[in-house]
């Protein structure tokens, strides 16, 4: 884990939004791409905080304060980052009973930076409501998030139902579990699995290149 992640973790545990935001923006001004900041620094900091909690070195209240501070901080940071004009649409949601949204929010911010209109549907969205929202908005991509292992079996119903919508959205799954488990049995053959934000940026760049070729 890099030193930047450790430093940020301490600021988040202190509940200092201003200090953590200034730290992030200073790294951005030094040339750090948003994907690297989110992956190496923010995700690294939250991983470190999780490890401290598992070792009983911080309390549940400390962890909640750090998470809430991080949420405010990344939203503030994203508000200052230059964004490309929105052309395509991406919808984000957690499967039912899944409450962890931080990683999904950072993914949505990267989509916005790279020319996508986004809708964040948030945590714990039942499938019937996910289908209704998707039918109304018709996103090009639907991103599912799951971080707790016993929620994984629900992916299959979501993947099959969402990909069967008439406008055929691309389904994408992001999860820290992907580094440890094969989630493909719970999804369809067309599902894209995002293991880190660099892979997400590469996929978006590939889509942008294809769109330019198709338009020429």
User: Mean pLDDT over residues 95-105, rounded?
Assistant: 92
175-200 pLDDT per residue, tens:
989 989 999 999 999 999 999 999 99
Give residue 213's pLDDT: 44
Last residue of a domain, one of 55, 80, 105: 80
- Greater confidence (87 vs 168) lies with 168
Residues 57 and 117 occupy one common structural domain: no
pLDDT digits (tens, 9 = 90+) for 71-86: 999 999 999 998 888 8
The structure's pTM equals 0.92
113 and 14, same structural domain? no
pLDDT for 107 beyond 80: yes
What order of strands is seen across the sheet that includes strand 170-174?
A: 116-120, 88-94, 141-145, 170-174, 192-194
Q: What is the pLDDT of residue 114?
A: 93
Please give the mean pLDDT across all residues of the chain. Answer: 93
> 20: domain range?
3-80
Higher pLDDT, 65 or 1: 65
Residue 151 belongs to domain with CATH number: 3.40.50.280
Following CA atoms 158, 207, 203, 185 in sequence, which dihedral angle do they give, to the nearest 10 degrees?
A: 30
Q: Are residues 71 and 164 in the same domain?
A: no
Residue-level pLDDT at 210: 62
70 and 104 part of one domain: no
pLDDT at 84: 86
For the chain, what is the domain count?
Answer: 2
pLDDT of residue 1: 74
Closest CA to 170 of 203, 192, 148: 192
Based on the fold, state whether residues 107 and 190 are members of the same structural domain.
Answer: yes
114 and 61 assigned to the same domain: no
Q: Check whether residue 107 and residue 187 sit in a common domain.
A: yes
Same domain? For 105 and 57 the reply is no
Among 80, 109, 135, the domain boundary falls at 80
75 and 103 belong to one structural domain: no
CATH number of the domain bearing residue 8: 1.10.1240.10
Q: Has residue 162 got a pLDDT over 70?
A: yes
How far apart CA 118 and CA 115 sit, in angstroms, is 10
Position 214 confidence tier, pLDDT thresholds 50, 70, 90? low
Verify that 65 and 147 share a domain, yes or no.
no
Q: Tell me if 131 sits within 8 A of 159, measured CB to CB.
A: no
CB 66 within 8 A of CB 9: yes
Q: Check whether residue 178 and residue 151 sit in a common domain.
A: yes
pLDDT of residue 184: 93
Of 80, 105, 140, the position where a domain reaches its end is 80
> Which pLDDT belongs to residue 216?
44
Q: Same structural domain for residues 74 and 102?
A: no
Average pLDDT over residues 165-173: 96
What pLDDT digit, counting tens, does each position of 12-62 carry? 999 999 999 999 999 999 999 999 999 999 999 999 999 999 999 999 999
Please state, in angstroms and as integers, the Cα–Cα distance from residue 15 to each residue in 12, 20, 35, 52, 209, following that order.
Answer: 5, 9, 23, 16, 41
Answer for the pair 151, 97: CB distance below 8 angstroms, yes or no.
yes
Q: Which pLDDT score is estimated for 96?
A: 93
């Amino acid at each position: 884990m890099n030193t930047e992640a450790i430093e940020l973790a301490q600021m988040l545990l202190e509940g200092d939004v201003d200090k953590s935001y200034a730290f992030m923006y200073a790294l951005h001004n030094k040339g750090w791409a948003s994907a690297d900041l989110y992956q190496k620094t923010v995700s690294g900091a939250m991983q470190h905080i999780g490890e401290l909690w598992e070792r009983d070195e911080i309390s549940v209240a400390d962890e909640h304060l750090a998470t809430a501070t991080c949420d405010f901080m990344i939203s503030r940071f994203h508000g200052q980052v230059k964004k490309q004009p929105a052309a395509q649409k991406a919808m984000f949601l957690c499967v039912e009973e899944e409450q962890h949204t931080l990683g999904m929010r950072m993914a949505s911010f990267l989509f916005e930076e790279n020319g996508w209109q986004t809708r964040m549907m948030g945590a714990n969205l039942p499938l019937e409501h996910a289908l209704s929202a998707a039918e109304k908005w018709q996103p090009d991509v639907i991103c599912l998030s799951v971080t707790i292992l016993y929620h994984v079996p629900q992916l299959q119903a979501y993947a099959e139902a969402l990909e069967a919508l008439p406008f055929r959205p691309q389904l994408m799954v992001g999860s820290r579990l992907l580094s440890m488990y094969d989630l493909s049995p719970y999804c369809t053959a067309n599902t894209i699995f995002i293991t880190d934000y660099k892979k997400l940026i590469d996929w978006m760049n590939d889509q942008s290149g294809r769109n330019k070729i198709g338009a020429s």
